[in-house]
Amino acid sequence: MPPAITTAAPVRPLWRWAILGCVLGALVACAAEIGRMMVTHNEHVLVAGRAYRSAQLSPSQLEAFVREHHIKTVINLRGRPFDTWYPAEAQATQALGVSQEDVTTSANRLPAPGEVRRLIEIFDRSEHPIVMHCQQGADRTGLASVMYLLLYTDADYATARRQCSPRFGHFPIFTTASMDEFFDQYEEWLAARGEAHSPAAFRHWATTEYCPGPGRARLELVGGPNEVKVGEPIVFTVRAYNTSRESWQFRAGTKVGVHAWYVVQAPDGTMILHDTAGFFDRTVAPGEHVDLALPVPAATLPGKYRLYMDLEQRNVTFTQFGSEALTHDWDARNPAPQGR
């Protein structure tokens, strides 16, 4: 009878166990950090006795935070929406006798130049200590916190940028990477000038030099009537000048690049058309222009109609970056009766 053959269990290389341990350790640490942020409402000291950051707080949580840190100004980075949290916060700050400043920002796009200037102006004039918050206290609050340190402290640049990091719940992926891109542009500006960061340099760049990518244009109507007959279709031609510092990339058959969107409003105020244009392959460098054809169906009723047109990229309109949209009004009139 042949001897039984035994097979030893495969031995996993030690490096595999090491990698697995590192991955599990990272997951546990990440979960613990997320849990900590949820329990503490992402509350952190930015500059002791001067500036703090947090997620959205309930009225009772805000009251406790204000009393503990002697807060004089609450900076709300979520704007003034119709959600119930806003009037609740406004009533809480009023009852506490502290100021509230509202700035409309987004975690999903580069901040508009006007938003940046307004935030700096609020920082400059607000009574301290301040606390700033968005919804989670991660993305928009991270951007504002980095700005504050760059403007008002001697913190080195790398230390300031860590306020916008996973430590506070910010992950530079997908659209929230716009928060990081803002400061990347500042770095590029410094490098091009051969300068190091300073509060004065950042203030100058943020208030006068900053341009949010390709999102700036001058729109001019170069073809289209002021008056048409009812039943006549129209094609408006809009010339778009690239006034940004980056090239526009128009692409055919996709919404990845820059394109135009436009709406038409009827005499009674209803929207009768929502369309897009500019789906072709072309690069428009800064200072160059492109002509865009905007077809509009024939009006069925007489009256005054309005065209509203803007450019957008990645579902973000140029007006959100401080650019100016184009509007044009025209009249549709009934055809004159034919003589017999």
Considering the chain, what is the average pLDDT of its residues?
90
pLDDT digits (tens, 9 = 90+) for 197-208: 999 999 999 999
CA distances to 2, 52, 74, 131, 340 from 100, rounded to whole Å, are 88, 14, 5, 10, 71
* Burial class (CB within 10 angstroms; exposed 0-12, middle 13-18, buried 19+) of 142: buried
Q: Cis omega before residue 129 (within 30°)?
A: yes
Name the superfamily (CATH) of residues 28-209.
Protein tyrosine phosphatase superfamily (3.90.190.10)
pLDDT for the residue 13: 63
In the sheet with 44-47, reading across from the earlier edge strand, the strands are 44-47, 51-54, 130-133, 73-76, 99-102
Per-residue pLDDT averaged across 165-188, rounded? 94
Does position 35 have pLDDT exceeding 60, yes or no? no
CA neighbours within 13 Å on the CB side: how many for 9?
A: 2
CB 309 within 8 A of CB 325: yes
CATH number at 217-333: 2.60.40.10
Burial call 305-325: b when 16+ CB within 10 Å, e when fewer: bebebbbbbeebebebbbbee
pLDDT for the residue 316: 84
Residue 100 to residue 87: CA distance in whole angstroms: 12
What is the residue-wise DSSP string for 122-175? HHHHSPSSEEEE-SSSSSHHHHHHHHHHHHHS---HHHHHTTSSGGGT----GG
Does position 1 have pLDDT exceeding 80, yes or no? no
pLDDT for the residue 115: 94
Strand ranges (E), 8-163: 44-47, 51-54, 73-76, 99-102, 130-133
Residue 218 to residue 152: CA distance in whole angstroms: 35
Does position 110 have pLDDT exceeding 60, yes or no? yes
Which neighbouring-strand residues pair with 308?
Answer: 263, 327
What is the residue extent of each domain of the chain? 28-209, 217-333
pLDDT digits (tens, 9 = 90+) for 267-321: 999 999 999 999 999 999 999 999 999 999 999 999 999 999 999 987 789 998 8
pLDDT digits (tens, 9 = 90+) for 230-252: 999 999 999 999 999 899 999 99
